[in-house]
Amino acid sequence: MSVFAHPEFDHHEAVVYCHDARSGLRGIIAVHDTHLGKALGGCRMWPYPGEAEALTDVLRLARGMTYKAALADLPQGGGKSVIIGDPRADKTPDLIRAMGRAIDRLGGVYVVAEDSGTSVQDMRLMAEVTSHVGGLADAAAQAAGRTGDPSPATAFGVFVGIQAAVRFQLGREDLSGVRVAVQGLGNVGYRLCRHLSEAGARLWVTDLYAPAVERCVRQFNATAVGMDQIAALDVDVYAPCALGAVLNDRTIPQIRARVVAGAANNQLSEPRHDRALQERGILYAPDYCINAGGIIDIYYEGPDYDAAVVDRHLRRIGTTLTAIFERARDQGRPTGEIADRMAEERFRPS
């Protein structure tokens, strides 16, 4: 299938395939929209079964970044990149630098940052061969304890979003005793569990990586469950924090939570699943709104970084979500549809 005929193609401005024989790099860069500014988006490394799956993911992720930046009220566009490979087995410094050189050839229209399967250290390796890298703390920031890792900001933004969703849907002003099922315990999921635990929430957790589950059980008194059980638990909030497409024809009928609010990108398998959640009375916090904390933090990086300013911007995620929830309720439309319209009002050229 050609890129133009792909069901996830949404007038992307550029889709670039990257290959380096020496390092074994096979990657794709997608730039969705740059009307508001340069396209910013992470580089994901994942053992995709093949090129088709990688293309689907990068097209969806790049589009999501455009909407995420617009709804977060940032002067940025949306892009994303993926590397086909297992980050635990296939990643090498030469491969990461090769991806950096591929990004550099685009001349700055796309700015890369870390994502699933890549790290701040990987971004430093890319920065050896390109200046178009975000999410890197300068010397002053490192001295203040910042690493450039956007995960803490992403996790805090999701926590603020869950607070807003619980307030709207459950009428609760606090999270004490609120039951939350967290799927995915990576950098963001783990930190989200910490925030939730400190707020008094009760946790059920799952991840493919057993030590991550064990850590949350030990540190947060969480209950471990299987990956095939997490969506169907009798809880108040289901928080997907791993890969996308977890809200689909199979899982939605099983969901017993009244709120779906998590850090994963592209949680809806298809756009129609937005309405399927609404019809079941489940409040969905649109993923690209609730998980925008990372790009907000990256936007403010630099010598003038002000943690208080960033904190205020992160807390606006809850305000934006509440506006989406209210507009969806008043118009009888799904929350994801409302979020899309609000974002498009900001980035579509008049």
Residue-wise pLDDT for 278-296, tens only, equals 999 999 999 999 999 999 9
The order of strands in the sheet holding 202-206 is 223-224, 202-206, 179-183, 237-240, 259-260, 283-284
The pLDDT, as a whole number, for residue 166 is 98
Q: What phi, psi does 310 have (nearest 5°)?
A: -65, -45
Residue 80 is a catalytic residue: yes
| Percent of the chain with pLDDT strictly greater than 70 | 96
CA distances for 325 relative to 114, 259, 330, angstroms:
30, 12, 9
Q: What phi, psi does 204 have (nearest 5°)?
A: -120, 135
Beta bridge partners of 20: 25
And the tokens for 217?
Answer: 């059980």
Largest CA-CA distance found in the chain, in angstroms, rounded: 57
And the tokens for 76?
Answer: 């940025």
Amino acid letter, residue 170: L
Q: What phi, psi does 79 have (nearest 5°)?
A: -155, 175
The pLDDT, as a whole number, for residue 142 is 54
Q: What is the CATH number of domain 151-347?
A: 3.40.50.720
pLDDT, tens digit (0-9, with 9 covering 90-100), for 113-140? 988 899 989 999 999 999 999 877 654 5
Q: Which candidate, 324, 327, 338, 339, places its Cα nearest to that of 165? A: 324
And the tokens for 174?
Answer: 């606090």
The pLDDT, as a whole number, for residue 312 is 97
**Which stretches within the chain are classed as H helix?**
51-71, 93-104, 120-127, 139-143, 151-170, 187-198, 210-220, 272-279, 287-290, 293-299, 307-331, 335-347
- Give burial (CB, 10 Å; 0-12/13-18/19+) of 171: exposed
The pLDDT, as a whole number, for residue 17 is 98
Range 14-136: architecture per CATH: 3-Layer(aba) Sandwich (3.40)
Q: Which candidate, 31, 41, 14, places its Cα nearest to that of 299? A: 41
Residue 212 has pLDDT above 90, yes or no: yes
Note the pTM of the prediction, 2 decimals. 0.87
- In the chain, what are the domain boundaries? 14-136, 151-347
Strands 77-84 and 25-33, how do they pair? antiparallel
For residues 294-307, give the mean pLDDT: 88
